[in-house]
Amino acid sequence: MSRKSERRGGPSKAARGSKGGERRRKLVGLLLGGGLITTLGSILVPIVNFVIPPKVREAVQNSVVAAKVGELPPNSGKVFRFGSKPGILVHKTTGEYVAFSAICTHLQCTVQYRKDFKHIWCACHNGHFDLTGKNIAGPPPRPLEAYKVDIRGEDIVVSKRA
């Protein structure tokens, strides 16, 4: 090549035949490829994590302190947390405590105790349950899941039945 072609931007004789030039091109290619992979990964990982969320296991909880003795007057109820799900504790007019899952068996709404009805009521679709958990009116297809109630000292402990 002449000096004119070298000045116009053509590769010099040393650059065309040198191993150093080839190494530089490979290094630049690797750096660009690595940057592209890193960029795509930083975009795709959050999208995949959103579409396929990680499974979170709930800690198994067999019993919980739902209330203190004397906290609930007769003919009243209280919604409490049983793990990640709600439960309902009712202090009957007879002085006895009963507890159930507070999830309606119709469409999983949270139920509440109604003093005026003296039973458990679901506001979503007017479902009614007696104080044994049995569905007595409205659309709920099944009774509420019943829990066991124990009084241990000053604590009212609710546990899942075996």
- Whether residue 89 sits in one domain with residue 45: no
- Whether residue 93 sits in one domain with residue 151: yes
Q: Which two tokens stand for residue 36?
A: 């592209």
- Residue 60: per-residue pLDDT: 66
- Whether residue 155 sits in one domain with residue 86: yes
pLDDT in tens, 62-88: 899 999 999 999 999 999 998 889 999
- Whether residue 110 sits in one domain with residue 70: yes
Residue type for position 112: Q
Residue 57 lies in a domain: no
Q: Higher model confidence: residue 67 or residue 161? A: 67
CA distance 105 to 125: 11
- Whether residue 136 sits in one domain with residue 75: yes
Domain limits at 24?
3-51
- Whether residue 46 sits in one domain with residue 69: no
Residue 80, C-beta contacts closer than 8 angstroms, at least 6 positions apart: 64, 66, 67, 86, 87, 88, 89, 158
pLDDT in tens, 8-58: 655 555 555 577 788 888 999 999 999 999 999 899 988 888 888 777 766
- Whether residue 123 sits in one domain with residue 92: yes
Say if residues 110 and 79 touch (Cβ distance below 8 Å): yes
Residue 41 lies in a domain: yes
- Whether residue 67 sits in one domain with residue 46: no
Burial level of 122, CB count in 10 A (0-12/13-18/19+)?
Answer: buried
Our count of domains for the chain comes to: 2
- Whether residue 150 sits in one domain with residue 111: yes
- Residue 138: per-residue pLDDT: 93
Residue 154 lies in a domain: yes
CA distance 136 to 93: 19
- Whether residue 95 sits in one domain with residue 24: no
- Whether residue 82 sits in one domain with residue 138: yes
- Residue 7: per-residue pLDDT: 55
CA distance 103 to 111: 6
Task: Report the CATH number at residue 76.
Answer: 2.102.10.10
Question: Cβ of 110: how many Cβ atoms within 10 Å?
Answer: 15
Residue 56 lies in a domain: no
Q: Which residue has the tokens 């000096």?
A: 3
- Whether residue 153 sits in one domain with residue 74: yes
